[in-house]
Structure 1
């Protein structure tokens, strides 16, 4: 039996990019890459390693180059995503083929990924170790006030360019375990209608946030410098709230926030990466 090999797909190959986009919803039913690709967000930092059959992608493991921040240090690493195999080709070892190709590309660099509950036993075979993720929040009673922060639409090219600029030049949302230059991952969530609104506090500070059931969820902050988030809460809400929850470790923005639970939906695995002790949360909008 001939062992298949994986091919590398980048943003320049429109034919294989389209084949990749056809593959994704076959494995991840609610996910699509077509709009994100049409926006021009697939760049050199994203590569797919796929097994092809008659021009179709039947198995895949994608790699995103990341500027990781770990305990205040910036390191270049990678995050895996879109790992899987179409139902008709499972049980043939194709997921191992694409995983090995993706990890060969990463070399000895740090690698992380977020898995679903069904495949938690798969990734330790490739040297990955599971790590817990915490949920952070705080009680806060607040009501709307002042001029509401306007909503920015990531469907507009100039907004996406602005987010990239803030993400590249600005602060990492957390120094404990986070990432810089993750705007194109955040735009993927927006392209799939998975993100909360992007609100503009100022030219130097944009926030992904929204209110649900009396809680303000602050998913990410893209800012050139630190600021007092508490002072802007009334501008981010359209109804009274009793709590704020964060999609990242909020040590910079809300030092008094505490752990309010474990992120049971985030099955984090790491390879060649030592994480800081204590609770932390990799930003939800930087996960692939």
Structure 2
């Protein structure tokens, strides 16, 4: 009789297990990778992986937990976001992912918990007390052209692979004001670096010592993916530093009621299946920041 796979909690200082965890992620989530993020030493003490491990040392199933400072309708609270929940294809149907989820939720206790799921497992999370919470896309019309008289300095794109750039960004992210009061987070710079490490984030531009913006322009659409600013941020004043071609539309990776109140809600975000547990979200449209999602 084969021994029951054991539960192992892998934390930031359990570096001997990081390789096995990265192998698991790459097999279950084909477009995700943790290796470069680990090389950048971004696995912090707020991130724990509840791994089901086989006798050969492989991670067979997992549910990871990120402890987060959340802002919900202007009120700050501590909650947890789950991620990398799943099971290796060859051992599915044995209840291993369920064991990992149960261990992760036991750790979270009665605190608010949420996660973003893919559409192939939408029936899995309600079994653990989660309820769906639609996310909203936001857009605004904008007629803006780059200034060509030499007075405007374009903000150059920076690479978070550079250790000094990364350290400076993380210092600002730790003190940055939340981009929204409806449903957002504080101090999630390490999560944002995961997107950069995998090439999924928009270019990062530093407008000044206190302001970092993930933004890009494509076909006349300026997407402000995220803003990390330690003092009040004026998006109108920042626009000339972010564009090199005419722009007719603004899009946001978060709820923009603070930065662009006249943005309109377009409807549900099709690729974002948010589930919440012990968490009451605002009744109106909102969008949890893209770069804060695990």
Pair 1:104-2:110 in alignment:
no
Query: Residues of 2 paired with 1:6 and 1:130: CA distance?
Result: 28
The aligned runs of 1:155-166 (5 Å cut-off) are 155-166=161-172
Give deviations 1:102-161, integer Å, cap 9, x for gaps.
101111111110000111110000000100100011000111232101212111112222
Return 5+ residue gaps in structure 2 as ranges: none
The aligned runs of 1:72-87 (5 Å cut-off) are 72-87=74-89
The alpha-carbon deviation at position 3 of structure 1 amounts to: 5.0
- Equivalent in the alignment of 2:17: 16
Q: TM-score, normalised by structure 1?
A: 0.98
Match of 1:168 among 165, 174, 191: 174
The alpha-carbon deviation at position 200 of structure 1 amounts to: 1.0
The aligned runs of 1:1-288 (5 Å cut-off) are 3-53=4-54, 54-145=56-147, 146-288=152-294
Counterpart contact for 1:171–1:180, Cα < 8 Å: yes
User: 2:12 aligns to what SS in structure 1?
Assistant: coil
User: 1:200 aligns to what SS in structure 2?
Assistant: strand
Counterpart contact for 1:5–1:97, Cα < 8 Å: no
Counterpart contact for 1:69–1:177, Cα < 8 Å: yes
The alpha-carbon deviation at position 261 of structure 1 amounts to: 2.5
Query: Residues of 1 paired with 2:6 and 2:138: CA distance?
Result: 43
Give deviations 1:169-216, integer Å, cap 9, x for gaps.
120111110000110000000000111100111111110000122100
Q: TM-score, normalised by structure 2?
A: 0.96
Give deviations 1:247-276, integer Å, cap 9, x for gaps.
000111001111022201000000010111
User: 2:266 aligns to what SS in structure 1?
Assistant: strand
Moved more, 138-147 or 190-199: 138-147
The alpha-carbon deviation at position 5 of structure 1 amounts to: 3.9
The alpha-carbon deviation at position 95 of structure 1 amounts to: 0.7
User: 1:243 aligns to what SS in structure 2?
Assistant: strand
Moved more, 125-134 or 149-158: 149-158
CA RMSD of aligned residues (A): 1.1
Query: Residues of 2 paired with 1:153 and 1:284: CA distance?
Result: 19
Counterpart contact for 1:226–1:252, Cα < 8 Å: no
Give deviations 1:2-25, integer Å, cap 9, x for gaps.
654421001111221110011111
User: 2:200 aligns to what SS in structure 1?
Assistant: coil
User: 1:104 aligns to what SS in structure 2?
Assistant: helix
Runs of 4+ in 1 over 3 A off after TM superposition: 1-5
User: 2:86 aligns to what SS in structure 1?
Assistant: strand
Query: Residues of 2 paired with 1:201 and 1:174: CA distance?
Result: 20
Return 5+ residue gaps in structure 1 as ranges: none
Query: Residues of 2 paired with 1:179 and 1:165: CA distance?
Result: 16
Query: Residues of 2 paired with 1:52 and 1:283: CA distance?
Result: 32
